[in-house]
A = this chain, B = another copy of it.
């Protein structure tokens, strides 16, 4: 570990996210020079939830800063299921749009699950559709959810050995817990998935070489749940009277952990960085698929001409 993304034993997600964004921007420039195209991110925001508005604005800004095109759609909170569906279907067909992000949560009355499924897997830069979940479960190429990818990126940047490691994931959400467990399994960790029904969570946690806390409960993981020398990744973020806190009692856990993410400034900043990365990956795959199709068509035409067959 070179300490580049560390402040003492704290993993610096802000610095690493900056590096991922810069790397992505350089790769975007290379892609654009090679293909004459720019990756494009479409953000769909329904209603006027202030937190969502801030978050979407940040995604758009970083996307433009990385050299991508910005395709934003704002719908009123009163938009019907059909109206949102129509926008998503349009964006799915738009060749300028590499990735589609439907900002959640949606206003009450809209069926988010059904709307997310309208995003084709090839443009599912949030990795939330059922097909993307299947590609992840089966270890096939596809777009992975951003926060879980950010967790792995953080661990990799700090050379945390995952092969054979005992990894404990606390929480089993579709967005974080389940996909992060799949990604850790693909890296050959022995993975235990814990949740609200787990008996003696402290004891399970104490056996972990790597803990990923994604339970959504402030300060759930106590300092003495952490094995000496373990690596702790805290995905939680909660606004409390004492300021922003995560799922882990960070100060106490840091006494024992070899490495730990701060809250804020740990996993949080990684999410948008991985979204930019996914948008580039999607643009590349779409370009390659189109190139392959054109090549096949030309090849077939050539073969036909050569043999004289219709």
| Interface size in chain A (residues, C-beta < 8 A) | 32
The answer on a CB contact under 8 Å between B188 and A137 is: no
- B residues near A133, Cβ cutoff 8 Å: 133-134, 137-138
Q: Is A198 an interface residue (CB 8 A)?
A: yes
Q: A133-B137, A134-B133, A137-B137 are in contact. Are A197 and B193 (CB under 8 A)?
A: no
Copies in the complex: 2
CB-based nearest B residue for A166:
B199
Q: Is A194 an interface residue (CB 8 A)?
A: yes
CB-based nearest B residue for A191:
B193
- B residues near A135, Cβ cutoff 8 Å: 130, 134
Interface residues of A in 49-107 (CB under 8 A from B): none
- B residues near A172, Cβ cutoff 8 Å: 185
Query: Chain B nearest CB: distance from A193 CB in Å?
Result: 5
- B residues near A131, Cβ cutoff 8 Å: 130-131, 134
Cα(A164)–Cα(B181), bound, Å: 18
Cα(A193)–Cα(B165), bound, Å: 12
Q: Is A284 an interface residue (CB 8 A)?
A: no
Query: Chain B nearest CB: distance from A143 CB in Å?
Result: 13
Q: Quick one: which of B182, B191, B199 contacts A192, CB cutoff 8 A?
A: B191
Q: Is A286 an interface residue (CB 8 A)?
A: no
Q: Is A132 an interface residue (CB 8 A)?
A: yes
Cα(A198)–Cα(B166), bound, Å: 8
Q: Is A237 an interface residue (CB 8 A)?
A: no
Interface residues of A in 186-213 (CB under 8 A from B): 188, 190-195, 197-199, 204
Q: A138-B174, A190-B192, A190-B204 are in contact. Are A163 and B130 (CB under 8 A)?
A: no
- B residues near A132, Cβ cutoff 8 Å: 134
Q: Is A275 an interface residue (CB 8 A)?
A: no
Most buried by B among A164, A172, A181, A190: A190
Known: A139-B174, A164-B198; 8 extra A-B contacts, CB below 8 A, are A129-B134, A133-B134, A137-B137, A137-B178, A166-B199, A190-B193, A190-B199, A192-B193
Q: Is A140 an interface residue (CB 8 A)?
A: yes
Q: Is A282 an interface residue (CB 8 A)?
A: no
Cα(A181)–Cα(B184), bound, Å: 14
Cα(A194)–Cα(B131), bound, Å: 25
CB-based nearest B residue for A194:
B190
CB-based nearest B residue for A168:
B192
- B residues near A190, Cβ cutoff 8 Å: 192-195, 197-199, 204
Interface residues of A in 132-169 (CB under 8 A from B): 132-140, 163-164, 166
Cα(A199)–Cα(B190), bound, Å: 8
Cα(A63)–Cα(B178), bound, Å: 36
Interface residues of A in 22-61 (CB under 8 A from B): none
Query: Chain B nearest CB: distance from A227 CB in Å?
Result: 14
Q: Quick one: which of B134, B182, B192, B194 contacts A130, CB cutoff 8 A?
A: B134
